[in-house]
């Protein structure tokens, strides 16, 4: 059997980390099993669905690299199919028209509540009722009246629901539009979904969906309901905790692999391994190993993992990410070795790609603005004289390499009996504008002779109060 999984977000809110983790588990399981992964946009709620939310889903999935083998399918494009199935179920007696009015149902509900009973549809139309003038009927599914449904959930184990607890669900509203639980059923059946992996807030829908699938002659898929993600304070994850659009992580400079790595570990473990490549995740993941307890989102750990991925990735793989962040601050370069060099020089010092881009500004601009504090500290006093000496020796350097620069600075420090810092700091301030940068030899090698000397020149002619 080929495994078919799907991610079926409703575009009613922004795709955030909770949804991404569900998508990831579905994608990973399909990849692990050599199966198929489908993307389905559940946009039947026209009032709450937005184009912006659809865009975040599509762009977010693309940025994460969670590529679908089929789709995106849109439920709003499948209404004819849903209507046909409703007609078929009505004809087979598996569904029926219900003419109960809202007022009647509310009155029944109030009585049930007063008797402390669970509110449920009383079944007035279940056994056939004449059409009532002026009432547009809804269509209800004829749920089995007896027996039980057992959901053999891969995360929660067997969960039993008594059919007497399940209402005759409305599958079409009085305006004829199909309802959410029904569309899911038709889609999962038509799309040959074998494994439904979704949030455990849907567990209560599952027995109804299974009953409908059975009525339609389909074999229900295997279900895995994954737990919620909580905020660091244990409350349901909300905007306050960073439950923002997944694209915001892109903007903040996170790597998709780091975010996926973080999310896979929330509720799943493989020994004590923390850092996973995509390939390692695929090889090790099994939905059966997902923990059923909810887990809390930890932004510091995500940041730590991000840097781990920045440190381990091939520099070439990080170039597109660096360029994307450089462009946001109006900078760019197509010089691949230069960009890779910057990545290697900077990645120990930045936790995000955004931070790396911001720290690397001085590599791209024509002239640096020198931080006055750094100038006062390192260019005043003897700093400028030191810089002039450095300039002289650097200008005479035959081969402009990191080793060459290193040799010049070491020799000068030895000749003057000074520490390397005394020699290097004025130079660092002159070429980077600040007192903090990657190792000075690497920095100069990347900047090149001309730019380095021009910046030293500019610093030497800058007025600094001594
Ligand atoms: N559309 C549902 C949601 O966004 C998911 C339904 C499902 O996976 O069956 O919560």
Residue to mutate (ligand 1; options 78, 198, 210; most atoms within 8 A of CB): 198
Percent of the chain whose pLDDT exceeds 90: 87
**Is residue 364 very low, low, confident or very high in pLDDT (cuts 50, 70, 90)?**
very high
Which band of pLDDT confidence, cut at 50, 70 and 90, is reported for residue 240?
Answer: confident
**What do you get for the CA distance between the two ends of the chain, in Å?**
80
3-state DSSP call for residue 446? helix
Residue 453: C-alpha distances to residues 24, 100, 276, 377, 392 (Å)? 50, 86, 44, 21, 10
Q: How far is the CA of 209 from the centre of ligand 1 (A)?
A: 12
For residue range 379-423, list pLDDT tens digits in order.
998 899 999 999 999 999 999 999 999 999 999 999 999 999 999
Predicted confidence band of residue 235 (pLDDT cuts 50, 70, 90): confident
Mean pLDDT for the stretch of residues 246-271: 96
pLDDT of 125 strictly over 90 = yes
pLDDT number for residue 361: 97
Show the tokens assigned to 398: 């035959």
Q: Is 301 a catalytic residue?
A: no
Q: How far is the CA of 195 from the centre of ligand 1 (A)?
A: 13
Is 318:311 a contact under the CB 8 Å cutoff?
no
Buried b (16+ CB within 10 A) or exposed e, 272-288: eeeebeeeebbebbebe
Q: What percent of the chain shows pLDDT beyond 70?
A: 99
pLDDT digits 0-9 by tens, 104-124: 999 999 999 999 988 889 888
Take atom 6 of ligand 1 and give the residue whose Cα is closest: 8
In total, the chain counts a number of residues equal to: 466
Residue range 369-374: mean pLDDT, rounded: 94
Rounded mean pLDDT of 27-43?
Answer: 98
344 Cβ partners below 8 Å, 6+ apart?
315, 442
Q: Does ligand 1 have an atom closer than 6 angstroms to the CB of 42?
A: yes
Any ligand 1 atom below 6 A from CB of 8: yes
* DSSP 8-class letter at 27: H
Residue among 14, 184, 225 whose CB has most ligand 1 atoms within 8 A, to mutate = 184
Ligand 1 centroid, distance to 5 Cα (angstroms): 13
184 in contact with ligand 1, CB cutoff 6 A: yes
Query: Is the bond preceding residue 72 a cis peptide, omega within 30 degrees?
Result: yes
Asked whether 181 lines ligand 1 (CB < 6 A), one says no
The two tokens of residue 27 are 């994608």
With a CB cutoff of 8 Å and minimum separation 6, the contacts of 33 are: 3
pLDDT tens profile 51-73 = 999 999 999 999 999 999 999 99
Q: How far is the CA of 297 from the centre of ligand 1 (A)?
A: 21
Q: Give the pLDDT confidence score for residue 463 in this predicted structure.
A: 76
224 lines ligand 1 (CB under 6 A): no
Q: Which pLDDT belongs to residue 465?
A: 57
Residue tagged 């960009």 (tokens)? 339
pLDDT greater than 90 at residue 281: yes
Question: What are phi and psi for residue 92, nearest 5 degrees?
Answer: -85, 0
Q: Which of 102, 239, 354, 377 is catalytic?
A: 239
- For a pocket test of ligand 1, which of 4, 7, 8 has the largest count of ligand atoms closer than 8 A to its C-beta? 8
Asked whether 10 lines ligand 1 (CB < 6 A), one says yes
**Which of 370, 369, 366, 306 has the alpha carbon at shortest distance from 331?**
366
Domains and CATH numbers, the chain: 1-71+227-312 (3.40.50.620), 79-226 (3.40.50.620), 316-460 (1.10.10.350)
* Closest alpha carbon to 26 in 71, 67, 63: 67
pTM for the full predicted model: 0.92
Average pLDDT on 214-238 reads 91
State which ligand 1 atom lies nearest to the alpha carbon of 184: 9
pLDDT bin (cut points 50, 70, 90) of residue 453 is very high
* Residue 202 CB less than 6 A away from ligand 1: yes
What's the confidence (pLDDT) of residue 368? 95
Residue 219 clears pLDDT 70, i.e. is over it: yes
Q: Distance from the CA of 186 to the center of ligand 1, in angstroms?
A: 14
Q: Tell me phi and psi for residue 332, to 5 degrees.
A: -170, 165
CA of 72 relative to ligand 1 center, distance in Å: 14
> What is the rounded average pLDDT for all residues in the chain?
95
Q: Decide whether any atom of ligand 1 lies within 6 Å of the 198 Cβ.
A: yes
> Residue 180's pLDDT is what?
93
């Amino acid at each position: 059997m080929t495994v078919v999984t799907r991610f079926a977000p409703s575009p009613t809110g922004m795709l955030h980390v909770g949804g991404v983790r569900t998508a990831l588990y579905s994608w990973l399981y399909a990849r692990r099993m050599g199966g198929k992964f489908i993307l389905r946009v559940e946009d039947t709620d026209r009032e709450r669905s937005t184009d912006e939310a659809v865009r975040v889903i599509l762009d977010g999935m693309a940025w994460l690299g969670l590529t679908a083998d089929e789709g995106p399918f849109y439920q709003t494009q499948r209404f004819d199919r849903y209507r046909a199935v409703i007609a078929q179920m009505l004809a087979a007696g598996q569904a029926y028209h219900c003419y109960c009015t809202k007022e009647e149902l509310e009155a029944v509900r109030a009585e049930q509540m007063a008797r402390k009973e669970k509110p449920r549809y009383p079944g007035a139309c279940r056994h056939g009722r004449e059409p009532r003038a002026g009432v547009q009927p809804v269509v209800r599914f004829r749920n089995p009246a007896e027996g039980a449904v057992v959901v053999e959930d891969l995360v929660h184990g067997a969960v039993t629901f008594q059919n007497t607890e399940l209402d005759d669900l409305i599958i079409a509203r009085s305006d004829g539009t199909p309802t959410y639980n029904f569309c899911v059923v038709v889609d999962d059946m038509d799309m040959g979904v074998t494994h439904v992996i979704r949030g455990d807030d849907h567990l209560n829908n599952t027995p109804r969906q299974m009953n409908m699938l059975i009525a339609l002659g389909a074999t229900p898929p295997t279900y895995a309901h994954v737990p919620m993600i909580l905020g660091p304070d244990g409350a349901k994850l909300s905007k306050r905790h960073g439950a923002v659009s997944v694209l915001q992580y892109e903007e903040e400079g996170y790597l998709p692999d780091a975010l996926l790595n973080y999310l896979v570990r929330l509720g799943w473990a493989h020994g004590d391994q923390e850092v996973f490549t995509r390939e390692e995740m695929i090889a090790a993941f099994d939905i059966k190993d997902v923990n059923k307890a909810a887990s809390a989102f930890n932004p510091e750990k995500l940041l730590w993992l991000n840097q781990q991925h920045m440190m381990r990735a091939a520099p070439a793989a990080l170039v597109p990410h660096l360029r994307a962040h450089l462009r946001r601050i109006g900078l760019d370069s197509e010089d691949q070795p230069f960009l890779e060099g910057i990545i290697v020089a900077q990645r120990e010092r930045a936790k995000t790609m955004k931070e790396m881009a911001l720290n690397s500004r001085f590599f791209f601009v024509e002239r640096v603005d020198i931080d006055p504090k750094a100038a006062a500290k390192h260019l005043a006093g003897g700093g400028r004289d030191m810089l002039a000496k450095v300039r002289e020796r650097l200008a005479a350097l035959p081969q402009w390499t990191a080793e060459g620069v290193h040799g010049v600075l070491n020799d000068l420090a030895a000749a003057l009996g000074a520490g390397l810092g005394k020699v290097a700091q004025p130079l660092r301030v002159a070429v980077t504008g600040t007192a903090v940068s990657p190792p000075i030899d690497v920095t100069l090698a990347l900047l090149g002779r001309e730019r380095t000397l021009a910046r030293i020149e500019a610093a030497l002619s800058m007025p600094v109060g001594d």
